[in-house]
C-alpha cells in the first residue's frame, strides 16, 4: 500500500513538473508573439525588428535615409507602479511626436526606447527630437 502511494505521488509530481514546464514555454511563446509592450504602449523589440527589416528593404529600394533615436530614461526603478506609469507616459509622448503609421517606436529593456524615423535626414531628426522635448515639457505629473 505504501509503495503504491509513493509511486502515485511520484507520478503526480512528474505530471505537475511537466505542466509547469509547458506553462513556462507557453509564457515565453506569448511574450515573443506580443506586438505591443504592456507598460510602454509601444512595439515590443521583436515586432520592432520585424517591421524594421521591412522598412530597411523599402528604404534601400527607394534610396532613402532613416534615423534611429535611442532614448534612455534614467534615474527610475523599472519595477514599481510609478515607473511603469512614467514609461507609459513617455511612450505615449513619443507616439504623439512622430508620424503615425510611418515611424516606429519600441521598448527594449531597462528603460530604453528606440524610435526609427523613415525617409528623414539628420536635420529632420533634430526637429523630431525638439518636438519630443517640447511635448515632454507640457506633461503634467
- pLDDT for 44-103, tens place per residue? 999 999 999 999 999 999 999 999 999 998 766 666 777 788 888 899 999 999 999 899
Name every residue whose Cβ is closer than 8 Å to that of residue 62 and which is 6 or more positions away in sequence: 119
pLDDT tens for residues 57-72?
999 999 999 999 999 9
Q: What kind of fold does domain 45-137 have according to CATH?
A: Alpha-Beta Plaits (3.30.70)
Per the document, the length of the chain is 141
Give CA–CA dist 52/93, Å, rounded: 21
User: What residues does each domain of the chain span?
Assistant: 1-33, 45-137
Between CA 13 and CA 124 the distance in angstroms is 60
Q: What is the pTM of this model?
A: 0.74
Q: Is the pLDDT of residue 32 over 80?
A: no
Amino acid at each position: 500500500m505504501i509503495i503504491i502511494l509513493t509511486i502515485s505521488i511520484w507520478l503526480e509530481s512528474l505530471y505537475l513538473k511537466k505542466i509547469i514546464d509547458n506553462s513556462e514555454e507557453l509564457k515565453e511563446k506569448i511574450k515573443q508573439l506580443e506586438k505591443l509592450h504592456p507598460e510602454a504602449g509601444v512595439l515590443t523589440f521583436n515586432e520592432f525588428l520585424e517591421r524594421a527589416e521591412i522598412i530597411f528593404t523599402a528604404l534601400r529600394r527607394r534610396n532613402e535615409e532613416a534615423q534611429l533615436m535611442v532614448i534612455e530614461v534614467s534615474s527610475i526603478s523599472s519595477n514599481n507602479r510609478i515607473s511603469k506609469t512614467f514609461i507609459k507616459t513617455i511612450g505615449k509622448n513619443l507616439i504623439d511626436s512622430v508620424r503615425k503609421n510611418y515611424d516606429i517606436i519600441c521598448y527594449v529593456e531597462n528603460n530604453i526606447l528606440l524610435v526609427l524615423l523613415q525617409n528623414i535626414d539628420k536635420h529632420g531628426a533634430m526637429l523630431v527630437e525638439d518636438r519630443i522635448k517640447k511635448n515632454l515639457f507640457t506633461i503634467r505629473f
